[in-house]
Amino acid sequence: MFKGSNVALITPFKNNKLDEDAYIKLIHFHIENGTKGLVPAGTTGESPTLSHDEHQRVIDLCVKESKGKLPVIAGTGSNSTEEAISLTSHAEKMGANGALVVTPYYNKPTQEGLYQHYKAINDKCGIPIIIYNIPGRSVIDMTVETMARLYELKNIVGVKDATGDLSRVKKTLDKMGKEFIQLTGNDDNALDFNKRGGVGSISVTANIAPKLCAEFQKYSVLNDDKSILEAKRLDDILQPVHNAMFIESNPSPVKYAAKLLNLCEDDVRLPLVKVTNSTKEIVKDALQSANLF
């Protein structure tokens, strides 16, 4: 179920409030343009600055509007285990197909602490859980060995790997096998990630280039010569866009790109700010290079 191009959905704001109309428009934009899965209320959705009610509302709307046409992997992580259980339970109740649970940031738990955190969520909830391993933001790095222990539990099904370490893909594949879902959280390494055993991505760029990202993912997991060449061609088109999306803190650049494409406003919540004028030019150039206008 969880493969191909899954979008790490931005959360549109207007006057510092959730812009529900724009958010619903975004969801249908992805349904119509080839995205394979929706990931609301993740880091790209500015989950750290969403209130508890907003967090739940974002998930509720995504499940309601997708109407089963696309799987919903709800972002339900927290550095509080009890809060993560609460958010995951709510997502399950609302009908989400899975939960994306980030490693607990700031607390810096040991590997045993990580295991117990995810085990507690697993034991209290009944939907598939994808581990989100992003040491660049969370400080901690879950080892392959800890993931293998977690994979023995009933609900742990895969990982969103944002370590940037491509050698981890084979190590994870060797340890857990092909059934353990490996999705990259780094758009720029998606081609090599899939070559090594990955099955897709949870993508920032897909917010503004869903068709290109979906096509790229389709070809990147096939092994015939024609598909390999097409995946490389699409990857070359997408790389400038990927780079532009991270020239400043995510999701400020992708929200500006979304504004250029009339998808939503580029409002972000403090401590994030809108992108600078110099970054705006880089984003514009990247969109033009990929013929996204």
255 occurs within a structural domain: no
Of 74, 75, 132, 127, nearest to 103 by C-alpha is 132
Paired residues of 158 in beta bridges? 130, 181
The DSSP bridge pattern shows strands 17-18 and 13-14 to be antiparallel
Q: Name residue 137's amino acid.
A: R
Q: Which residue has the tokens 């514009």?
A: 284
d(CA 77, CA 168): 22
Over residues 11-35, the mean pLDDT reads 97
Residue 244 has pLDDT above 90, yes or no: yes
Mean predicted lDDT score pLDDT of the chain: 97
Rg (CA), the chain: 18
**Residue 142 — left, alpha, or beta (φ > 0 → left; ψ -120 to 50 → alpha)?**
beta
238 occurs within a structural domain: no
Domain count, the chain: 1
Cβ–Cβ < 8 Å for 201, 6: yes
Residues 6+ apart with CB under 8 A from 270: 49
The DSSP bridge pattern shows strands 37-39 and 4-8 to be parallel
Residue 181 structure tokens: 């879902």
Residue 274 has pLDDT above 90, yes or no: yes
254 occurs within a structural domain: no
CA distances from 230 to 95, 198, 227, 237 (A): 36, 18, 5, 11
229 occurs within a structural domain: no
DSSP state of 197: T
Residue 56 has pLDDT above 90, yes or no: yes
Sorting pLDDT into bands at 50, 70 and 90, what band is 266? Answer: very high
Total-model pTM: 0.97
Residues 6+ apart with CB under 8 A from 218: 4
248 occurs within a structural domain: no
Query: Which domain range does residue 111 map to?
Result: 4-220
In this structure, what CATH number is given to the domain that contains residue 191? Answer: 3.20.20.70
The pLDDT tens digits for 109-161 are 999 999 999 999 999 999 999 999 999 999 999 999 999 999 999 999 999 99
Sorting pLDDT into bands at 50, 70 and 90, what band is 178? Answer: very high
d(CA 22, CA 251): 16
CA distances from 212 to 44, 172, 233, 255 (A): 19, 28, 11, 18
List the catalytic residues.
Answer: 132, 160
DSSP state of 250: T
Residue 205 has pLDDT above 90, yes or no: yes
265 occurs within a structural domain: no
Paired residues of 38 in beta bridges? 7, 72
DSSP state of 72: B
157 occurs within a structural domain: yes
Over residues 224-248, the mean pLDDT reads 97
Question: What's the pLDDT score for residue 148?
Answer: 98
Residue 1 has pLDDT above 90, yes or no: no
